[in-house]
Structure 1
Protein backbone atom coordinates (compact mmCIF):
# COMPACT_ATOMS: atom_id res chain seq x y z
CA UNK A 1 0.00 0.00 0.00
CA UNK A 2 1.36 3.43 -0.98
CA UNK A 3 2.07 5.72 1.97
CA UNK A 4 0.34 9.14 1.87
CA UNK A 5 2.25 11.85 0.06
CA UNK A 6 3.78 14.40 2.42
CA UNK A 7 3.40 17.97 1.16
CA UNK A 8 5.22 20.95 2.69
CA UNK A 9 3.58 24.34 2.19
CA UNK A 10 6.19 27.10 2.34
CA UNK A 11 4.47 30.29 3.53
CA UNK A 12 6.03 33.42 2.09
CA UNK A 13 3.83 36.07 3.66
CA UNK A 14 1.76 36.93 6.72
CA UNK A 15 -1.78 38.25 6.32
CA UNK A 16 -2.49 41.85 7.19
CA UNK A 17 -3.59 42.16 10.85
CA UNK A 18 -7.15 43.17 9.92
CA UNK A 19 -7.55 40.06 7.75
CA UNK A 20 -5.97 37.43 10.01
CA UNK A 21 -8.98 36.84 12.31
CA UNK A 22 -11.16 35.86 9.35
CA UNK A 23 -8.69 34.27 6.91
CA UNK A 24 -5.91 33.12 9.28
CA UNK A 25 -3.01 32.37 6.90
CA UNK A 26 -2.07 31.38 3.38
CA UNK A 27 -1.12 27.96 4.63
CA UNK A 28 -4.63 27.49 5.97
CA UNK A 29 -6.15 28.72 2.69
CA UNK A 30 -4.20 26.10 0.74
CA UNK A 31 -4.99 23.39 3.27
CA UNK A 32 -8.70 24.21 2.94
CA UNK A 33 -8.50 24.15 -0.87
CA UNK A 34 -6.74 20.79 -0.91
CA UNK A 35 -9.26 19.41 1.55
CA UNK A 36 -12.13 20.51 -0.71
CA UNK A 37 -10.61 18.66 -3.68
CA UNK A 38 -10.01 15.55 -1.54
CA UNK A 39 -6.24 15.57 -1.49
CA UNK A 40 -5.31 12.57 0.67
CA UNK A 41 -1.75 13.45 1.64
CA UNK A 42 -0.26 14.79 4.86
CA UNK A 43 0.42 18.53 4.96
CA UNK A 44 2.97 20.53 6.94
CA UNK A 45 3.13 24.34 6.91
CA UNK A 46 6.41 26.24 7.27
CA UNK A 47 6.57 30.07 7.49
CA UNK A 48 9.82 30.46 5.55
CA UNK A 49 9.37 34.23 5.66
CA UNK A 50 10.29 33.81 9.35
CA UNK A 51 13.14 31.43 8.57
CA UNK A 52 11.28 28.25 9.54
CA UNK A 53 12.01 25.30 7.24
CA UNK A 54 11.70 21.51 7.34
CA UNK A 55 14.71 19.97 9.07
CA UNK A 56 15.55 18.10 5.87
CA UNK A 57 14.39 18.27 2.25
CA UNK A 58 13.75 14.54 2.49
CA UNK A 59 11.18 15.04 5.25
CA UNK A 60 8.61 15.82 2.53
CA UNK A 61 7.78 14.34 -0.86
CA UNK A 62 6.65 17.59 -2.52
CA UNK A 63 6.65 21.33 -1.91
CA UNK A 64 4.25 24.23 -2.54
CA UNK A 65 5.38 27.89 -2.44
CA UNK A 66 2.63 30.39 -1.65
CA UNK A 67 1.92 33.90 -2.84
CA UNK A 68 3.37 36.99 -1.19
CA UNK A 69 3.33 40.79 -1.37
CA UNK A 70 7.12 40.66 -1.77
CA UNK A 71 9.18 40.51 -4.98
CA UNK A 72 10.38 37.05 -5.97
CA UNK A 73 13.43 38.57 -7.67
CA UNK A 74 14.46 40.68 -4.65
CA UNK A 75 17.78 40.18 -2.87
CA UNK A 76 16.42 40.10 0.69
CA UNK A 77 18.15 37.40 2.72
CA UNK A 78 15.05 35.27 3.25
CA UNK A 79 14.15 35.37 -0.46
CA UNK A 80 17.71 34.50 -1.55
CA UNK A 81 17.67 31.59 0.92
CA UNK A 82 14.28 30.41 -0.38
CA UNK A 83 15.43 30.49 -4.01
CA UNK A 84 18.47 28.39 -3.08
CA UNK A 85 16.28 25.96 -1.13
CA UNK A 86 13.94 25.57 -4.11
CA UNK A 87 16.89 24.83 -6.39
CA UNK A 88 17.96 22.12 -3.95
CA UNK A 89 14.43 20.66 -3.95
CA UNK A 90 14.40 20.63 -7.75
CA UNK A 91 17.81 18.99 -7.92
CA UNK A 92 16.58 16.36 -5.45
CA UNK A 93 13.84 15.47 -7.94
CA UNK A 94 10.91 16.43 -5.70
CA UNK A 95 7.78 17.99 -7.28
CA UNK A 96 7.24 21.72 -6.80
CA UNK A 97 4.10 23.83 -7.08
CA UNK A 98 4.33 27.63 -7.21
CA UNK A 99 1.48 30.12 -6.83
CA UNK A 100 1.85 33.84 -7.73
CA UNK A 101 5.05 34.79 -5.86
CA UNK A 102 5.94 31.09 -5.84
CA UNK A 103 5.28 30.87 -9.59
CA UNK A 104 7.66 33.79 -10.15
CA UNK A 105 10.26 32.64 -7.63
CA UNK A 106 10.56 29.17 -9.15
CA UNK A 107 11.00 30.63 -12.63
CA UNK A 108 13.68 32.99 -11.33
CA UNK A 109 15.44 30.29 -9.26
CA UNK A 110 15.49 27.70 -12.04
CA UNK A 111 17.04 29.87 -14.74
CA UNK A 112 14.21 32.09 -15.98
CA UNK A 113 13.38 35.65 -15.01
CA UNK A 114 10.66 37.48 -13.08
CA UNK A 115 10.13 41.22 -12.81
CA UNK A 116 7.68 44.11 -12.85
CA UNK A 117 4.88 43.79 -15.38
CA UNK A 118 4.77 46.61 -17.93
CA UNK A 119 0.97 46.73 -17.68
CA UNK A 120 0.92 47.18 -13.91
CA UNK A 121 -1.48 45.58 -11.47
CA UNK A 122 -3.63 42.61 -12.36
CA UNK A 123 -6.62 42.24 -10.02
CA UNK A 124 -9.99 40.55 -9.84
CA UNK A 125 -10.97 37.58 -11.99
CA UNK A 126 -9.00 36.97 -15.18
CA UNK A 127 -9.55 34.32 -17.85
CA UNK A 128 -6.74 32.44 -19.58
CA UNK A 129 -6.61 30.25 -22.67
CA UNK A 130 -4.49 27.18 -23.14
CA UNK A 131 -1.31 27.91 -25.04
CA UNK A 132 -1.38 26.50 -28.58
CA UNK A 133 1.58 24.23 -27.90
CA UNK A 134 -0.05 22.89 -24.71
CA UNK A 135 -3.16 21.88 -26.64
CA UNK A 136 -1.09 19.53 -28.77
CA UNK A 137 -0.19 17.39 -25.75
CA UNK A 138 -2.04 18.18 -22.53
CA UNK A 139 -0.43 16.73 -19.38
CA UNK A 140 -2.40 14.06 -17.56
CA UNK A 141 -3.41 16.29 -14.64
CA UNK A 142 -5.36 18.66 -16.92
CA UNK A 143 -9.08 17.92 -17.09
CA UNK A 144 -10.15 19.61 -20.32
CA UNK A 145 -8.85 22.23 -22.79
CA UNK A 146 -11.32 24.97 -21.83
CA UNK A 147 -10.37 28.50 -20.68
CA UNK A 148 -9.53 28.92 -17.00
CA UNK A 149 -10.73 31.81 -14.80
CA UNK A 150 -8.85 32.65 -11.61
CA UNK A 151 -8.64 35.34 -8.99
CA UNK A 152 -5.45 37.35 -9.34
CA UNK A 153 -3.52 39.98 -7.40
CA UNK A 154 -0.10 40.80 -8.82
CA UNK A 155 2.07 43.49 -10.37
CA UNK A 156 5.04 41.19 -11.12
CA UNK A 157 5.15 38.48 -13.74
CA UNK A 158 7.35 35.75 -15.14
CA UNK A 159 9.24 37.40 -18.00
CA UNK A 160 11.26 34.40 -19.20
CA UNK A 161 10.56 30.73 -18.54
CA UNK A 162 13.27 28.50 -17.06
CA UNK A 163 14.85 25.81 -19.26
CA UNK A 164 12.54 22.88 -19.93
CA UNK A 165 9.37 24.78 -18.98
CA UNK A 166 6.27 24.71 -21.17
CA UNK A 167 3.51 27.34 -21.14
CA UNK A 168 0.10 26.00 -20.13
CA UNK A 169 -2.12 29.11 -19.82
CA UNK A 170 -1.78 32.55 -21.37
CA UNK A 171 -3.60 35.77 -22.26
CA UNK A 172 -2.74 39.26 -23.48
CA UNK A 173 -2.10 40.54 -19.96
CA UNK A 174 0.06 37.67 -18.69
CA UNK A 175 2.00 35.65 -21.25
CA UNK A 176 3.11 32.95 -18.82
CA UNK A 177 0.01 32.62 -16.64
CA UNK A 178 0.76 28.96 -15.96
CA UNK A 179 3.67 26.73 -16.88
CA UNK A 180 5.05 23.34 -16.02
CA UNK A 181 8.25 21.38 -16.28
CA UNK A 182 6.84 17.93 -17.04
CA UNK A 183 6.67 15.78 -13.93
CA UNK A 184 8.70 18.30 -11.92
CA UNK A 185 7.12 21.75 -11.58
CA UNK A 186 3.59 23.20 -11.85
CA UNK A 187 3.04 26.95 -11.46
CA UNK A 188 0.15 29.44 -11.66
CA UNK A 189 0.15 33.22 -11.57
CA UNK A 190 -3.45 33.20 -10.30
CA UNK A 191 -4.67 32.28 -6.83
CA UNK A 192 -6.71 29.07 -6.66
CA UNK A 193 -6.69 29.31 -2.86
CA UNK A 194 -8.38 32.74 -2.78
CA UNK A 195 -12.09 33.21 -2.19
CA UNK A 196 -14.18 36.07 -3.57
CA UNK A 197 -14.61 37.40 -0.02
CA UNK A 198 -10.86 37.49 0.58
CA UNK A 199 -10.23 39.19 -2.76
CA UNK A 200 -12.85 41.83 -1.98
CA UNK A 201 -11.23 42.56 1.38
CA UNK A 202 -7.76 42.61 -0.18
CA UNK A 203 -8.87 45.15 -2.79
CA UNK A 204 -9.24 47.76 -0.05
CA UNK A 205 -5.43 47.89 0.07
CA UNK A 206 -5.17 48.60 -3.68
CA UNK A 207 -7.33 51.74 -3.77
CA UNK A 208 -4.30 54.01 -4.25
CA UNK A 209 -2.62 51.73 -6.79
CA UNK A 210 -5.17 51.85 -9.61
CA UNK A 211 -7.68 54.36 -11.01
CA UNK A 212 -11.33 54.50 -9.98
CA UNK A 213 -12.25 53.26 -13.46
CA UNK A 214 -9.91 50.28 -13.14
CA UNK A 215 -11.28 49.51 -9.67
CA UNK A 216 -14.83 49.47 -11.02
CA UNK A 217 -13.80 47.02 -13.73
CA UNK A 218 -12.03 44.81 -11.19
CA UNK A 219 -15.05 44.79 -8.88
CA UNK A 220 -17.32 43.93 -11.81
CA UNK A 221 -15.06 41.00 -12.71
CA UNK A 222 -15.72 39.42 -9.31
CA UNK A 223 -19.19 38.50 -10.50
CA UNK A 224 -17.56 36.10 -12.97
CA UNK A 225 -16.55 32.49 -12.53
CA UNK A 226 -13.56 31.62 -10.30
CA UNK A 227 -12.22 28.13 -10.93
CA UNK A 228 -9.91 27.76 -7.97
CA UNK A 229 -11.13 24.27 -7.18
CA UNK A 230 -10.54 23.21 -10.78
CA UNK A 231 -6.89 24.22 -10.39
CA UNK A 232 -6.86 22.57 -6.98
CA UNK A 233 -7.74 19.31 -8.71
CA UNK A 234 -4.91 19.83 -11.21
CA UNK A 235 -2.55 20.33 -8.29
CA UNK A 236 -3.88 17.21 -6.56
CA UNK A 237 -3.53 15.08 -9.68
CA UNK A 238 -0.06 16.46 -10.43
CA UNK A 239 1.06 15.47 -6.94
CA UNK A 240 -0.64 12.08 -7.12
CA UNK A 241 1.01 11.28 -10.45
CA UNK A 242 4.41 12.16 -9.01
CA UNK A 243 3.92 9.83 -6.03
CA UNK A 244 3.05 6.63 -7.86
Structure 2
Protein backbone atom coordinates (compact mmCIF):
# COMPACT_ATOMS: atom_id res chain seq x y z
CA UNK A 1 0.00 0.00 0.00
CA UNK A 2 2.75 2.46 0.98
CA UNK A 3 4.76 1.57 -2.14
CA UNK A 4 1.70 2.14 -4.34
CA UNK A 5 1.19 5.56 -2.72
CA UNK A 6 4.83 6.46 -3.37
CA UNK A 7 4.46 5.41 -7.02
CA UNK A 8 1.39 7.61 -7.33
CA UNK A 9 3.19 10.54 -5.74
CA UNK A 10 6.09 10.04 -8.14
CA UNK A 11 3.79 10.03 -11.17
CA UNK A 12 2.07 13.20 -9.99
CA UNK A 13 5.41 14.86 -9.31
CA UNK A 14 6.65 14.07 -12.83
CA UNK A 15 3.38 15.29 -14.33
CA UNK A 16 3.61 18.54 -12.37
CA UNK A 17 7.22 19.07 -13.45
CA UNK A 18 6.31 18.41 -17.08
CA UNK A 19 3.56 21.02 -17.04
CA UNK A 20 5.70 23.58 -15.26
CA UNK A 21 8.46 23.08 -17.83
CA UNK A 22 5.98 23.89 -20.61
CA UNK A 23 4.63 26.94 -18.79
CA UNK A 24 6.97 29.63 -20.25
CA UNK A 25 6.29 28.60 -23.85
CA UNK A 26 2.56 28.35 -23.18
CA UNK A 27 2.53 31.79 -21.55
CA UNK A 28 4.24 33.25 -24.62
CA UNK A 29 1.43 31.87 -26.78
CA UNK A 30 -1.22 33.32 -24.45
CA UNK A 31 0.29 36.81 -24.29
CA UNK A 32 0.73 36.90 -28.07
CA UNK A 33 -3.04 36.90 -28.59
CA UNK A 34 -4.48 40.32 -29.54
CA UNK A 35 -5.76 42.37 -26.62
CA UNK A 36 -4.33 40.21 -23.81
CA UNK A 37 -3.00 42.36 -20.96
CA UNK A 38 -3.16 40.12 -17.85
CA UNK A 39 -2.91 36.36 -17.33
CA UNK A 40 -3.95 34.05 -14.52
CA UNK A 41 -2.71 30.45 -14.33
CA UNK A 42 -5.38 28.24 -12.81
CA UNK A 43 -6.51 24.65 -12.45
CA UNK A 44 -4.84 21.62 -10.90
CA UNK A 45 -1.35 22.43 -12.18
CA UNK A 46 -1.46 25.93 -10.69
CA UNK A 47 -2.41 24.33 -7.35
CA UNK A 48 0.52 21.89 -7.62
CA UNK A 49 -1.89 18.95 -7.97
CA UNK A 50 -1.34 17.93 -11.59
CA UNK A 51 -1.51 14.31 -12.70
CA UNK A 52 -0.76 12.67 -16.04
CA UNK A 53 -4.16 13.77 -17.39
CA UNK A 54 -3.86 17.45 -16.42
CA UNK A 55 -3.42 20.34 -18.82
CA UNK A 56 -2.53 24.00 -18.46
CA UNK A 57 -5.46 26.35 -17.85
CA UNK A 58 -5.34 30.12 -18.14
CA UNK A 59 -7.67 33.08 -17.78
CA UNK A 60 -6.57 35.99 -19.92
CA UNK A 61 -8.01 39.47 -19.52
CA UNK A 62 -8.54 41.17 -22.85
CA UNK A 63 -9.48 44.62 -24.07
CA UNK A 64 -12.55 45.17 -26.21
CA UNK A 65 -16.02 43.66 -26.24
CA UNK A 66 -15.42 40.02 -27.17
CA UNK A 67 -14.73 36.84 -25.24
CA UNK A 68 -13.55 33.49 -26.57
CA UNK A 69 -11.81 30.23 -25.73
CA UNK A 70 -8.72 28.83 -27.39
CA UNK A 71 -6.59 25.72 -27.06
CA UNK A 72 -3.21 24.60 -28.28
CA UNK A 73 -0.44 22.12 -27.54
CA UNK A 74 3.08 23.18 -26.59
CA UNK A 75 5.93 20.75 -25.84
CA UNK A 76 3.34 17.97 -25.86
CA UNK A 77 1.25 19.66 -23.17
CA UNK A 78 -2.34 20.71 -23.98
CA UNK A 79 -3.38 24.18 -22.87
CA UNK A 80 -6.76 25.94 -22.71
CA UNK A 81 -7.28 29.68 -22.44
CA UNK A 82 -10.41 31.60 -21.46
CA UNK A 83 -10.24 35.15 -22.89
CA UNK A 84 -12.59 37.64 -21.21
CA UNK A 85 -12.92 41.36 -20.61
CA UNK A 86 -13.01 42.02 -16.84
CA UNK A 87 -16.71 42.87 -16.83
CA UNK A 88 -17.55 39.41 -18.21
CA UNK A 89 -15.75 37.78 -15.29
CA UNK A 90 -17.59 40.04 -12.85
CA UNK A 91 -20.92 38.99 -14.38
CA UNK A 92 -20.00 35.35 -13.81
CA UNK A 93 -19.06 36.12 -10.23
CA UNK A 94 -22.46 37.79 -9.75
CA UNK A 95 -24.17 34.72 -11.22
CA UNK A 96 -22.38 32.50 -8.71
CA UNK A 97 -20.56 30.48 -11.35
CA UNK A 98 -18.57 28.13 -9.15
CA UNK A 99 -15.87 27.19 -11.65
CA UNK A 100 -14.95 30.80 -12.44
CA UNK A 101 -14.93 31.84 -8.78
CA UNK A 102 -12.75 28.86 -7.82
CA UNK A 103 -10.31 29.43 -10.67
CA UNK A 104 -9.76 33.08 -9.80
CA UNK A 105 -9.66 32.40 -6.06
CA UNK A 106 -7.01 29.69 -6.39
CA UNK A 107 -5.12 30.88 -9.45
CA UNK A 108 -1.60 32.26 -9.73
CA UNK A 109 -1.01 35.61 -11.39
CA UNK A 110 1.55 35.35 -14.19
CA UNK A 111 1.03 38.70 -15.93
CA UNK A 112 -0.18 41.20 -13.30
CA UNK A 113 -2.51 44.13 -13.75
CA UNK A 114 -4.71 46.04 -11.27
CA UNK A 115 -7.83 44.67 -13.01
CA UNK A 116 -6.67 41.11 -12.41
CA UNK A 117 -5.63 41.86 -8.83
CA UNK A 118 -9.13 43.21 -8.15
CA UNK A 119 -10.81 40.14 -9.66
CA UNK A 120 -8.63 37.75 -7.66
CA UNK A 121 -9.40 39.62 -4.43
CA UNK A 122 -13.13 39.58 -5.21
CA UNK A 123 -13.04 35.86 -6.02
CA UNK A 124 -11.21 35.02 -2.79
CA UNK A 125 -13.77 36.95 -0.76
CA UNK A 126 -16.64 35.21 -2.57
CA UNK A 127 -15.04 31.80 -2.16
CA UNK A 128 -14.47 32.34 1.56
CA UNK A 129 -18.08 33.43 2.05
CA UNK A 130 -19.56 30.60 -0.03
CA UNK A 131 -22.68 30.81 -2.17
CA UNK A 132 -26.08 31.35 -0.61
CA UNK A 133 -27.59 27.99 0.43
CA UNK A 134 -30.24 26.86 -2.02
CA UNK A 135 -32.24 23.81 -0.88
CA UNK A 136 -34.06 21.97 -3.67
CA UNK A 137 -37.47 23.36 -4.50
CA UNK A 138 -40.42 20.97 -4.09
CA UNK A 139 -40.40 20.36 -7.85
CA UNK A 140 -36.63 19.69 -7.87
CA UNK A 141 -37.00 17.40 -4.86
CA UNK A 142 -39.69 15.44 -6.72
CA UNK A 143 -37.41 14.94 -9.73
CA UNK A 144 -34.49 13.82 -7.56
CA UNK A 145 -36.70 11.35 -5.71
CA UNK A 146 -38.00 10.06 -9.05
CA UNK A 147 -34.44 9.10 -10.01
CA UNK A 148 -33.88 7.24 -6.75
CA UNK A 149 -37.15 5.33 -7.11
CA UNK A 150 -36.43 4.52 -10.76
CA UNK A 151 -33.12 3.00 -9.69
CA UNK A 152 -34.94 1.01 -7.00
CA UNK A 153 -37.29 -0.39 -9.63
CA UNK A 154 -34.31 -1.48 -11.77
CA UNK A 155 -32.24 -2.98 -8.95
CA UNK A 156 -31.93 -6.36 -10.72
CA UNK A 157 -31.36 -4.96 -14.19
CA UNK A 158 -28.04 -4.40 -16.01
CA UNK A 159 -28.65 -0.64 -16.10
CA UNK A 160 -28.80 -0.34 -12.32
CA UNK A 161 -25.15 0.81 -11.83
CA UNK A 162 -25.66 3.58 -14.40
CA UNK A 163 -28.95 4.72 -12.86
CA UNK A 164 -27.36 4.83 -9.39
CA UNK A 165 -24.32 6.76 -10.62
CA UNK A 166 -26.51 9.25 -12.50
CA UNK A 167 -28.83 9.81 -9.54
CA UNK A 168 -25.88 10.08 -7.14
CA UNK A 169 -24.32 12.80 -9.27
CA UNK A 170 -27.49 14.87 -9.24
CA UNK A 171 -27.88 14.36 -5.51
CA UNK A 172 -24.31 15.49 -4.81
CA UNK A 173 -24.81 18.68 -6.83
CA UNK A 174 -28.06 19.32 -4.96
CA UNK A 175 -26.26 18.72 -1.65
CA UNK A 176 -23.57 21.29 -2.47
CA UNK A 177 -26.24 23.83 -3.41
CA UNK A 178 -28.29 23.13 -0.27
CA UNK A 179 -25.30 23.45 2.06
CA UNK A 180 -23.99 26.63 0.46
CA UNK A 181 -20.72 25.08 -0.75
CA UNK A 182 -18.90 25.92 -3.94
CA UNK A 183 -19.02 22.95 -6.29
CA UNK A 184 -15.90 20.94 -7.06
CA UNK A 185 -15.27 18.58 -9.96
CA UNK A 186 -16.63 15.02 -9.69
CA UNK A 187 -13.12 13.60 -9.26
CA UNK A 188 -12.87 15.55 -5.98
CA UNK A 189 -16.33 14.76 -4.60
CA UNK A 190 -15.31 11.92 -2.33
CA UNK A 191 -12.30 13.66 -0.78
CA UNK A 192 -14.12 16.98 -0.46
CA UNK A 193 -17.21 15.42 1.11
CA UNK A 194 -15.07 13.35 3.46
CA UNK A 195 -13.77 16.62 4.88
CA UNK A 196 -17.11 18.42 4.86
CA UNK A 197 -19.76 15.82 5.66
CA UNK A 198 -18.67 12.22 6.18
CA UNK A 199 -22.32 11.14 6.49
CA UNK A 200 -22.69 11.92 2.77
CA UNK A 201 -19.24 10.78 1.64
CA UNK A 202 -19.73 7.25 2.98
CA UNK A 203 -22.95 6.41 1.09
CA UNK A 204 -21.61 8.07 -2.07
CA UNK A 205 -18.53 5.84 -1.95
CA UNK A 206 -20.69 2.76 -1.37
CA UNK A 207 -23.15 3.70 -4.12
CA UNK A 208 -20.29 3.90 -6.62
CA UNK A 209 -18.35 0.85 -5.42
CA UNK A 210 -20.75 -1.72 -3.92
CA UNK A 211 -20.82 -4.92 -5.96
CA UNK A 212 -24.23 -6.13 -4.82
CA UNK A 213 -27.25 -4.31 -6.29
CA UNK A 214 -29.13 -4.18 -2.98
CA UNK A 215 -26.13 -2.62 -1.23
CA UNK A 216 -25.68 -0.15 -4.07
CA UNK A 217 -29.33 0.89 -3.91
CA UNK A 218 -29.31 1.16 -0.11
CA UNK A 219 -26.30 3.45 -0.33
CA UNK A 220 -28.02 5.63 -2.93
CA UNK A 221 -31.07 5.97 -0.70
CA UNK A 222 -28.87 6.86 2.29
CA UNK A 223 -27.27 9.60 0.18
CA UNK A 224 -30.72 10.80 -0.87
CA UNK A 225 -31.74 11.10 2.78
CA UNK A 226 -28.80 13.47 3.34
CA UNK A 227 -30.24 15.75 0.66
CA UNK A 228 -33.99 15.21 0.76
CA UNK A 229 -34.61 14.38 4.42
CA UNK A 230 -37.04 11.61 3.52
CA UNK A 231 -37.98 9.34 0.64
CA UNK A 232 -41.63 10.32 0.70
CA UNK A 233 -43.25 12.27 -2.10
CA UNK A 234 -44.82 15.62 -1.26
CA UNK A 235 -46.79 18.27 -3.09
CA UNK A 236 -45.07 20.28 -5.80
CA UNK A 237 -45.87 22.38 -8.83
CA UNK A 238 -43.78 24.36 -11.30
CA UNK A 239 -44.60 27.91 -12.27
CA UNK A 240 -47.16 28.17 -15.07
CA UNK A 241 -45.54 28.83 -18.45
CA UNK A 242 -47.23 30.86 -21.14
CA UNK A 243 -47.69 28.98 -24.41
CA UNK A 244 -46.11 30.50 -27.55
- Give the TM-score normalised by structure 1: 0.26
In proportion to residue count, which structure has more helix? 2
Q: Which has the higher contact order (CA 8 A, sep 6+)?
A: 1
- Give the TM-score normalised by structure 2: 0.26
In proportion to residue count, which structure has more strand? 1
Greater C-alpha Rg: 2
